[in-house]
Amino acid sequence: MKKLILICAASVLLFSCRKEPSGSNNIPSDITFQLNRVDNIFFTGDNGLLISGVNNLKYTLIKTNSNFGILWTKNNYEWGDIVLGSGWGSSFYSIQMVKAFQRSDGMYVCIGTIMQGGDVVYYTTLVIILNQDGNQIRKYQFDDLAASNALQTVDGGYILFGNKLIKLDGNFNQQWEKNLLDNNYFQYQIVSASEGEFATTGSYNGEQVLLKKYDQDWNELLSSVYKHTNSPFEEAGFNLIQLTDKGFLIIGRSGKSFVPNIIECQIIRTDAEGDTIWTKRFGYPTNSWLENIVTYDNDELVLQGSIGFPDENQKSVLVKINTDGQILDSISSEKFQMMVYSPLMFYIKVQNNDAGDINFSLIEPNKLFTKNN
């Protein structure tokens, strides 16, 4: 009997010490999806994902549960047949999903930009309403708009942001339109700010970083440009976030004003009035820049960037920085497409694998800056 008790006790100890998969709840650490390209990942109310991309020239949406099990896949949309051109001037058609939102009734609002044509290229933005099973309910079309982002507004409507700005109400009726094309100001990214306001970043004259802030009716509240050398060139802000003090942190690129002309990573922190608090620049042996703010928590941010142009041996870089401008950690790795942070508190790295599929790697926060992740 003693021997049996000892065996049972050992078995309990053995199974209690087994390592749970990353993210627990039996979530696997790596998942492969049959997609040739991923455009975006959107987190849904059930802690699952809505993944948008292309598979075999069909635009495809995949809905998963919180354990990354596939609930449904849809690729039969009438707007989703990709046509590749055979050369200069030949006809082509492509669409990219730039944003999706889930409404309180569970339905999805998806914003996609179509690029098509031949000798002349045309842009159209679609707002597509899907039910919880991914079936299309309605579609709205906005011509001559190349939307690169979209936001929900405090009144329950939407902002479509691209070469121009279109404000929709909650029923997708257009309320107003603003032209964003300007010979001096190029606005690349938009975010929501406090009190229903908006902020954008980009470049001024292609040489200096730009920050603008608007109220909810797009009246300009703030406009600043940042020049930190006597001969700035190729400086731009690619993304921004409003911090808890209502100032902004802008990430992007700067150019060295001496030979060799190499683009470097740049971070600018401002106060609420747009005045510079500090600027951080750092680089690598070749061109590099920052493009994505992955997380912002407890006065620390994780930023994603790239080292090298696409025709080079391109790499991805992650940088952890605090709001005082101190670099806390960094790591470079083989190029990956995107890094996002799940509400279940782990990172998801999205990367093409050798088989032409897309691999999702789940990474615990304390292992994000560990080699071989």
Q: What is the pLDDT of residues 96-137, one digit of tens each?
A: 999 999 999 999 999 999 999 998 999 999 999 999 999 999
User: What tokens does 73 get?
Assistant: 């896949």
CATH class of domain segment(s) 28-181+341-358: mainly beta
Q: Are 276 and 209 in contact (CB under 8 A)?
A: no
**Of 2.130.10.10, 3.30.360.10, 2.60.40.10, 1.20.1250.20, which CATH number belongs to 184-335?**
2.130.10.10
Check residue 40 and give its pLDDT.
95
Angle at 269 between CA 268 and CA 271, to 5 degrees: 140
> pTM for this one?
0.90
Domain with CATH 2.130.10.10 in the chain: 28-181+341-358, 184-335
DSSP string, 136-178: EEEEEEEET----EEEE-TTS-EEEESSEEEEE-TT--EEEEE
State which residues of the chain have pLDDT below 70: 1-25, 256-259
Question: In angstroms, rounded to a whole number, what is the distance separating the alpha carbons of residues 250 and 18?
Answer: 43
Check residue 58 and give its pLDDT.
97
